Amino acid sequence: MSEAIEPERARTGSAGPFRQFAGRFCRHKLAVVGLAVTAALILTALLAPLLSPHSPYSVSDTFSSPPSSRHWLGTDPVGRDVFSRLIAASRVSLAVGFATVALYVTAGTLIGLVSAYVGGWVDLIVMRVTDMFMAFPFLMVILVVVSVLGASLQTIVFVLALFSWPTVARLVRSSVLSLKEQDFVKAGRALGFGAPRILFRHLLPNALAPIVVNATFGVAGAILSESGLSFLGMGVQPPAASWGNMLGDAQSLTVLTDQPWLWLPPGLMLLIAVLAINFVGDGLRDALDPNG
Amino acid sequence: MLSYIARRLLISLPVLLGITVINFILMKLAPGNPVDMLIDPNTPPELLQAKKAMLGLNSPPAVQYGKWLLGLLHGHLGYSFSSYAPVADLIAQRIGPTLLLAFASLFGGMLIALPLGIAGAVRRNTALDHALTGLSFVGISLPPFFLGLGLIYWFSLKTKLLPTGGMHTLGGEGGLGDALYHLVLPASVLAAAIVGKKIRYIRASMLDVLEKEYLRTARAKGVRESLVIGKHALRNALLPILTVFGAEIPVLLGGSILVEQIFQWPGIGQLALQSILSRDYPTLMALNLVAAIVVLASNLLTDALYTMADPRIQYR
Amino acid sequence: MTVITESNASRPLLQLEGVKKYYPSRKGLFAKGRIQAVDGVTLDVHAGETVGLVGESGCGKSTLGRTIIRLEHSDAGRILYDGEEITAYSVRRMRPLRTQMQMIFQDPYSSLNPRQRVEDILAEPLIAHGLPRGEDARRSVGKLLDLVQLPRSSRSRYPHEFSGGQRQRIGIARALALKPRLIVCDEPVSALDVSVQAQILNLLKDLQDELKLTYVFIGHGLGAVRYISTRVAVMYLGKIVELGETNRVFDAPRHPYTSLLLQAIPVADPRRRLRERLVLQGEAPNPENPPPGCRFHPRCPFARERCFSEAPSLTGNGHAAACHYPLG
């Protein structure tokens, strides 16, 4: 009976799954840096009103003035403080990024779970619908829909989510399809568990890793898409500030040549934010899937 | 393989039809119509009505959709609401520059990504490899419009090496050389994203092959390392790598909107943006349809090529 | 609803009457075939006994096991549990019966949810059926761990911290949580080390005595089946070809297939090894397209004219075989 007495502790130690995961994540140095930067950005967004020296909307007496001690990053053609607008924009961009992802990851996960678990006709129809949504060229169709519905923060989030959920649904579906053949799911059915319990207690927790990775990259993608829309004037509308529309306002040769404070900072902020979040996603991928 | 392609095509038909329906619903949801937008507010209402009737805007939506679909089957894509030109002609005028831009960036991106990816795999876990990984992430994360503005600033305004936009020099003679000269910057922006995405993929497929048994055998036989990589590994890694570049075509199509706008490149992307701003529904519907066909076709092509390149993958 | 009110002693706990199970298979672009995984199985299982199901992989024994406890819908035939016909019960109507019949799975690695602690795995059936919660559930988990001889300290661990044998004990404990009467054991030891197999088999035997359990024991290894079963059913291509008390089937098989199956076991005795042996030739035919007549005839060394066209039925009292020319 010796076999039954002592669990195999040597193989895994007593560390919980989370500690192991954290250890693997921390080995990815860029991911740790990315996480720190992301955290700093989130903090900035949360504390935006406290951190900005001026109101992002108030107009001063100097227009397009270069950086000075009063306006660290100068002022825009309307006379607003660029630094304050940069901080205000972080709020908008991150909010759009996280809200979009929260919306479509939830929807995609639910749809994928149900589609795979129910199977049959439901699954077939869901798959064809995802095919349809995925066949639209992303940026183009989003521009069309935003122009139809009218640009506002809610519309942007809704439209970005509307054309992003199919990827998640397919991801979840394929992991659930393989998971539901596993014996622990059959055991759940044999034990008389209802569909909600099997879906949310057994299938979902085991399908979570790729969802989390996808969601992280999704935040970066949504921020990029929002900035693209705003750059084209179809996204966040002035006077609200977004890194994208700040860059969009700088599309003149004079601004490009002579007023770099108007376009370099928002572009760099975008790059830093997207890069940092992508690094976090990469770290998560490595940590959650040590073999892949 | 043939039955696989046949099945995929069969599946694509309802998908395409669904796309046109979604498209049409979207257009109908739009507030306002082109007549209201284009015509001076002082025009008498009778005239507006006549105009609307002429454009077919008075019939019920289902009829409008049916007419459009019927026309499509006969090869008509309808007439633009803003320029009254046949949509097919508009697209035909614009598709050339977009294709030129797309394939130039695809080709350029490939030429840059291949050696970098291979270098990363061969010198794996060295400083070079880490630098390349970092570079690929920058490529993925760079907003194309920011890169575009940066390139214009440096190459057009500071060093005056390349033009800021357009496809031909104003008042110049045009010609292919001139177009290529204008192509460099916009193609670079699109290529950057491709390079970023593909470096890591190429590196991974190369590593996959490098660890294979037959390469170890080749090394054991004393074949020079450069020959092992150049002849044995590359040949086996190349085909799957090349096929996935097809998957970039849809991405290029979307990206071309931003890039064509920044560089004033007279392609489909610009046409799309103009049509959106002028609520030119027939043009938008046609553009979405063409784009969807391109997306579906390139997905199918990628999958089909991939099966051929890797006999282990079986599609049923 | 059947109106049988005889005493439980004479009525089998489980009755299968002509149970069939097909799987669709895809060939070509549109044509669909079907695989007859279980093709007309009639079998009674009495309370307290262990019926072993043996056969090569693909013979339908595992499908039959899953069909018995209604993890799969049967396509024809009747399934009666304790006299109650459950063949067409919905998931909802099956729910109360889930406390009566349970399953132990083959692969102890995929049969436990890797994200649940042992105590959650064992308490969840109770909670889902509205049985004890809180402190009562805790106590039940402790008792279950005692039953399968695992230390109570195992409760807060995750499945990956255990060995295969220990995990199988957890799986057994989970099957016991609802105090079932019938347990389908689907090759419960074939994924385990040989040294551990005997321990698990002994545990199953002890539990049967202690809890008055009835087993349907699906086995790949004949040794395990012989050790634990009171009766044995031999399956070939979805049909039972021989059925009888364990010792009689193993010592004096009547169906040529059983005989060949038994001889395929490696024998430790060198004197017997030298003796001329009949070998089971070829692979089992495709169940999508079973041969006409007796399904075993393409591989049977004794096949005669009649076997090519006429399918034999399972005949014989006590020790039955589906063969026109039974051995012995």
Q: What is the mean pLDDT of each run of 10 residues along chain B (316 residues)?
A: 78 84 78 59 69 68 81 78 82 89 91 90 87 91 92 87 79 74 91 90 83 70 71 71 73 85 90 86 84 83 71 50
Tell me the shortest Cα–Cα distance from B256 to chain A, in angstroms.
Answer: 9
Residues from chain B that touch A131, judged by Cβ atoms under 8 A, are 11-12, 15
Instruction: Give the pLDDT confidence of C206-222 residue by residue, as tens digits.
Output: 999 999 999 999 998 88
pLDDT at C181: 95
Domain assignment present for residue B25? The answer is no
Please state the rounded mean pLDDT for residues A234-239: 87
Contact C103, C186 (CB under 8 A): yes
Q: What is the dihedral of CA C290, C296, C299, C302, to 10 degrees?
A: -150
C81: pLDDT strictly greater than 70: yes
Query: Per the CB < 8 Å rule, is B18 touching A129?
Result: yes
Residue B263 belongs to domain spanning: 90-268+296-309
Domain assignment present for residue B9? The answer is no
Contact C165, C199 (CB under 8 A): yes
Which chains does chain B touch, 3 or more C-beta pairs < 8 A? A, C
pLDDT at B125: 84
As for the ipTM of the complex, it is 0.85
Tell me the shortest Cα–Cα distance from A106 to chain C, in angstroms.
Answer: 20
Instruction: Give the pLDDT confidence of A118-177 residue by residue, as tens digits.
Output: 988 999 899 889 988 888 878 888 888 888 888 889 999 999 999 999 999 999 999 999
Domain assignment present for residue B232? The answer is yes
Partners of B145 in beta bridges: none
- Overall domain count for chain B: 1
**Side-chain half-sphere exposure of A217, counting CA atoms within 13 A:** 16
pLDDT at C43: 94
pLDDT at B200: 87
Instruction: Give the pLDDT confidence of A19-49 residue by residue, as tens digits.
Output: 778 888 888 888 999 999 999 999 999 988 8
* Residue A58 CB neighbours (<10 A): 10
Domain assignment present for residue B185? The answer is yes
Please state the rounded mean pLDDT for residues C236-260: 92
pLDDT at C195: 87
pLDDT at C262: 86
- Burial call A20-51: b when 16+ CB within 10 Å, e when fewer: ebeebbeebebbeebbebbeebeebbeebeee
Domain assignment present for residue B97? The answer is yes
Domain assignment present for residue B124? The answer is yes
Nearest chain A residue (CA) to C93: A192
Domain assignment present for residue A101? The answer is yes
* Residue B222 CB neighbours (<10 A): 6
Q: A217 and chain B: CB distance < 8 Å anywhere?
A: no
Nearest chain C residue (CA) to A184: C111
Nearest chain A residue (CA) to B28: A148
Domain assignment present for residue A30? The answer is no
Please state the rounded mean pLDDT for residues A188-206: 92
pLDDT at A25: 86
Residues from chain B that touch C28, judged by Cβ atoms under 8 A, are 3
Whole-prediction pTM value? Answer: 0.84
Q: A246 and chain B: CB distance < 8 Å anywhere?
A: no
Provide the pLDDT confidence category of residue C187 given band limits of 50, 70 and 90. very high
Best of B146, B149, B160, B252 to substitute, by most chain A Cβ atoms within 10 angstroms, is B146
* Residue B229 CB neighbours (<10 A): 18
Query: Per the CB < 8 Å rule, is B150 touching A267?
Result: yes
Q: A49 and chain B: CB distance < 8 Å anywhere?
A: no
Nearest chain A residue (CA) to C161: A8
Domain assignment present for residue A215? The answer is yes
Query: Per the CB < 8 Å rule, is C102 touching A11?
Result: no
Q: CB-based contacts of B37: which residues, under 8 Å, 6+ apart?
A: B278, B279
Contact C294, C307 (CB under 8 A): yes
Percent of chain C with pLDDT over 70: 88
- Burial call C75-92: b when 16+ CB within 10 Å, e when fewer: bebbbbbbbeebbebeee
| φ/ψ (deg, to 5) at C256 | -55, -35
Burial of residue C72 (CB within 10 Å: 0-12, 13-18, 19+) is middle
Q: If you count residue pairs, one on A and one on C, with CB atoms under 8 Å apart, how many are there?
A: 90
Domain assignment present for residue A33? The answer is no
- Overall domain count for chain A: 1
Residue A143 belongs to domain spanning: 39-53+64-287
Question: Comparing B201 with C272, which gets the higher pLDDT?
Answer: B201
Q: If you count residue pairs, one on B and one on C, with CB atoms under 8 Å apart, how many are there?
A: 5
CB proximity under 8 Å: C 90-129 to A: 94-95, 98-99, 101-103, 105-107, 110-116, 124-125, 128-129
A9: pLDDT strictly greater than 70: no
Q: Give the whole-angstrom CA distance, residue A238 versus residue A236.
A: 7
Nearest chain B residue (CA) to C29: B3
Domain assignment present for residue A23? The answer is no
Q: CB-based contacts of A252: which residues, under 8 Å, 6+ apart?
A: none
pLDDT at A16: 64
Domain assignment present for residue B148? The answer is yes
Query: Per the CB < 8 Å rule, is B261 touching A232?
Result: yes
Residues C167, C173, C177: CA angle, nearest 5 degrees: 145
Pick from A231, A256, A260: which is nearest to B152 by CB?
A256
Question: Residue A102 is inside which H or E element, if any?
Answer: helix A82-118
Q: C166 and chain A: CB distance < 8 Å anywhere?
A: yes
pLDDT at C6: 44
Please state the rounded mean pLDDT for residues A204-221: 93
3-class state of residue B138 by DSSP: helix
Query: Per the CB < 8 Å rule, is A186 touching C114?
Result: no
CB proximity under 8 Å: A 174-213 to C: 182-184, 186-194, 197, 201-202, 205-206
CATH number at residue B179: 1.10.3720.10
Q: What is the mean pLDDT of chain C?
A: 86
pLDDT at A4: 41
CB proximity under 8 Å: A 98-137 to C: none
Q: CB-based contacts of B195: which residues, under 8 Å, 6+ apart?
A: B109, B112, B113, B116, B136, B139
Tell me the shortest Cα–Cα distance from B89 to chain A, in angstroms.
Answer: 20
Question: Comparing B80 with A245, which gets the higher pLDDT?
Answer: A245
Tell me the shortest Cα–Cα distance from C86 to chain A, in angstroms.
Answer: 14
C5: pLDDT strictly greater than 50: no
Q: A53 and chain C: CB distance < 8 Å anywhere?
A: no
Q: Give the whole-angstrom CA distance, residue A84 versus residue A74.
A: 10
Residues from chain B that touch A267, judged by Cβ atoms under 8 A, are 143, 146, 149-150
pLDDT at A103: 97
Best of B27, B137, B201, B281 to substitute, by most chain A Cβ atoms within 10 angstroms, is B137
Q: All domains of chain C, ordered by start, with CATH? A: 10-100+216-267+276-328 (3.40.50.300)
Query: Per the CB < 8 Å rule, is C95 touching A192?
Result: yes
C110: pLDDT strictly greater than 50: yes
CB proximity under 8 Å: C 7-66 to B: 26, 28-29
Domain assignment present for residue A153? The answer is yes
In this predicted structure, which of A104-118, A196-210, B39-53, C176-190 has the lowest mean pLDDT? B39-53
CATH number at residue A84: 1.10.3720.10
Domain assignment present for residue A183? The answer is yes
Contact A49, A59 (CB under 8 A): no
